[in-house]
Structure 1
Amino acid sequence: MALSSLIARLPYPSRPVQRAIAVAAIVAQAGIGVTGSVVRVTGSGLGCPTWPQCFPGSMVPVAHPEFDTLNQWIEFGNRLLTVVVVLVSALAVLAAWRVQIAHPERKRLVKLAWTMPGGVVLQAVVGGITVLAKLEWWTVAIHFLASTPLVWLAVLLLRAFNEGDEPARWLIPPLAKKLLVTLVVALWAILIAGTTVTGAGPHGGDPETHRLDAPIEVLAQVHGGLLVCYLLVLAVFGLVLMRGGTPAALWRRYAIVWVVALAQGVLGSVQYALGIPEALVSLHVLGSALVIVATAALWCGCRDRGPVTSAGPAPREPELTAARS
């Protein structure tokens, strides 16, 4: 395949380069959600009222009496950040593909890498629907929720660069594994409930957009109650791990989940008590991304796929490359 031949001529990515690209993917996938929240709380969601163009006949903002210039550029800036996500996603695919050329067994790594650009395409489509639907609250919710699995997958990609391809061997008891799955389900339940609170709240992205007609007090209580359930499952999970044999590295990941989740809970409570100020909304969105990252890291730390086999190019690869040239 011609494309594979071209990629095979690229320098083999070192371990630090592999790690840096995967970390960049995590930051990019999480960051686009945070910048999206800035668009929402500043009322800039329709600063570019069409999609994929910003205005009919123009890809960039243009002076318009009905649209504030600052709102236009905030929304357009968020769209430009998609370019950064695309570049990082492309680098992830190239790095994984280059590794797989040298180590053909690394098919899972390439599949994970391809979820990054695939997610960008999905988000672009959902984002376009959101704009065309004039920021209906449920489209905004879908737009946010579509980004959360991508953050999770980016963490798995980072792990995949640093592990082998053996079948997953769980390092925790069966009961702990069931609790971990329950913890992940609870996490997404919290995220879904959080979008309903946002849908009923004051920050819709545009003053004219429709809001969810439901009591925000009740929705916030449900959201908070699900966080309590998450923490209870996390506590029981820890008690099961105390039976012994748990690696120290896993305990560190477990502790990080507690710190991040508790901080997010406190932030959410303060945000609600203060009347949902704009700055705290974006911090809360950042916190949700950090909870996803911490939980995904805990998940990865609970199983082992053997040692990494792709720290460097295959022993005979230099000879093969020379023969091809």
Structure 2
Amino acid sequence: MSASSLISRVRRVSPSALISRVPYPSAAARTAIGIATVATQAGIGVTGSIVRVTDSGLACPTWPQCQPGAMLPYENPEYPMLNQWIEFGNRLLTIIVILVAGIALITAWRIRQAHPERRRPVVLGWTIVAGVAAQGGIGALTVMWDLVWWMVATHFLASTVLVWLAVLLAHAFHEGDEPARFHLGARGRALLVSLGVAIAVVLVSGTVLTGAGPHAGDPDTERLDAPIDVVAGVHAAALGVFLLVLIAIGLQAARGGASAGFRRRYAVVWALALAQSVLGVVQYRLGVPEPLVSLHVLGSFAVLIATASLWCAGRDRGDAPQPPSRAAMADANRAVASGPA
């Protein structure tokens, strides 16, 4: 076989050539994939909290195996079977997270094949895939280092970054790639940036509070030696700043320039933030019961997703290009199949 024919065959089976055979994603498919990406990135964080509050974090003491020499849980007097399956089940969910992230990347790649100018969805897709891979390493280190509190916090915070990126990708599937134009002007943009910083502080202070709290993931794990009342006060103050910035955004929106979609998402952020505040107070007063901890983690992701969606609604990147015609797609596919990968 000649070198030229070999190169030709390799090109025909290159990733770009294979993806070119995937149908161009419809608006409904893009919406479903975007939602699935957000849901899986947040869901793995919620199930991780269940691992923590059930003291299952070290029920599978090795990684990626559950027990030394065995991939699956088995009867062990030191680690109850239920706790092993809770921890191992959380690991299995990672497969779904990876699968969905891969589908999202393929979707973004397929869109760019039809619209070469559309770089942003592909960049976001690759960043999420890389982040999921990094999360696997962080999870392994978390187990190897016996659930030390700051490693658990890092694991959770990495999930929050991936959730924010997933929201951006879900919106990028339906918008253009023009430079962002903020509806509320420079002041509105500054307030939205401040809101993002505020929720980051809320999340970081929340992980510190968790590190000082009673739920470590394993009864023998050392906790952060910090006064709970003080850390809880810092966390509450951070939430107060978040709400103050939210009020300022509402006043700015009332002056005009806010779309109906922005106003709806603004109301959703308020509703979720207030519900999360009440839940946090109840959780604290009741001594941090396990079910409320996981519910609070779910609420934190809900507020984060709503805030990221508000950010996206606050700016305009133009309309997404129309799907190409069948003839144009056929020409593009032939170009991909015959050109360099």
Q: What amino acid is aligned across from residue 215 of structure 1 in structure 2?
A: P
Identify the match of residue 242 of structure 1 among 238, 247, 254. Answer: 254
The Cα of 1:318 is off from its aligned counterpart by: 2.5
1:192–1:314: structure 2 CA closer, same or farther, 3 Å change rule?
A: farther
DSSP 3-state at the match of 2:224: coil
Tell me the distance in 2 between the aligned counterparts of 1:317 and 1:90.
22
Taking the TM superposition and a 5 Å limit, the aligned residue runs for 1:99-248 are 99-248=111-260
Identify the match of residue 277 of structure 1 among 279, 289, 311. Answer: 289
Taking the TM superposition and a 5 Å limit, the aligned residue runs for 1:26-41 are 26-41=38-53
Tell me the distance in 2 between the aligned counterparts of 1:147 and 1:10.
29
DSSP 3-state at the match of 1:316: helix
Tell me the distance in 1 between the aligned counterparts of 2:118 and 2:332.
19
Alignment partner, residue 68 of structure 2: 56
Q: Percent identity over the alignment?
A: 57
Alignment partner, residue 82 of structure 2: 70
The Cα of 1:314 is off from its aligned counterpart by: 6.9
More displaced 10-residue stretch of structure 1: 242-251 or 284-293: 242-251
The Cα of 1:320 is off from its aligned counterpart by: 4.6
Contact 2:184 2:256 in 1 (8 A): no
DSSP 3-state at the match of 2:221: coil
Alignment partner, residue 286 of structure 1: 298
Q: What amino acid is aligned across from residue 144 of structure 1 in structure 2?
A: F
The Cα of 1:185 is off from its aligned counterpart by: 0.6
Tell me the distance in 2 between the aligned counterparts of 1:101 and 1:263.
43
Tell me the distance in 2 between the aligned counterparts of 1:69 and 1:320.
54
Q: Does 1:92 align with 2:101?
A: no
Alignment partner, residue 317 of structure 2: 305
Tell me the distance in 1 between the aligned counterparts of 2:284 and 2:333.
60
The Cα of 1:10 is off from its aligned counterpart by: 1.2
Computing the radius of gyration from Cα coordinates, the structure with the larger value is 2
Alignment partner, residue 307 of structure 2: 295
Number of residue pairs matched by the alignment = 325
Q: Does 1:251 align with 2:269?
A: no
Contact 1:41 1:204 in 2 (8 A): yes
The Cα of 1:311 is off from its aligned counterpart by: 3.8
Tell me the distance in 1 between the aligned counterparts of 2:325 and 2:26.
9
Contact 1:50 1:56 in 2 (8 A): yes
The Cα of 1:315 is off from its aligned counterpart by: 5.2
Contact 2:183 2:314 in 1 (8 A): yes
Tell me the distance in 1 between the aligned counterparts of 2:230 and 2:324.
54
What stretches of structure 2 of length at least 5 have no aligned partner? 1-10
Tell me the distance in 2 between the aligned counterparts of 1:119 and 1:306.
28
1:313–1:274: structure 2 CA closer, same or farther, 3 Å change rule?
A: farther
After superposing on structure 2, the runs of 4+ consecutive aligned residues of structure 1 that deviate more than 2 Å are 310-315, 318-325
Tell me the distance in 2 between the aligned counterparts of 1:52 and 1:113.
25
Tell me the distance in 2 between the aligned counterparts of 1:322 and 1:120.
33
Tell me the distance in 2 between the aligned counterparts of 1:312 and 1:47.
52
Tell me the distance in 2 between the aligned counterparts of 1:196 and 1:58.
34
Tell me the distance in 1 between the aligned counterparts of 2:286 and 2:201.
24
Alignment partner, residue 7 of structure 2: none
Contact 1:13 1:99 in 2 (8 A): yes
Q: How does the TM-score come out when normalised to structure 2?
A: 0.92
Contact 1:12 1:313 in 2 (8 A): no
- Cα-Cα RMSD: 1.5
Contact 1:99 1:313 in 2 (8 A): no
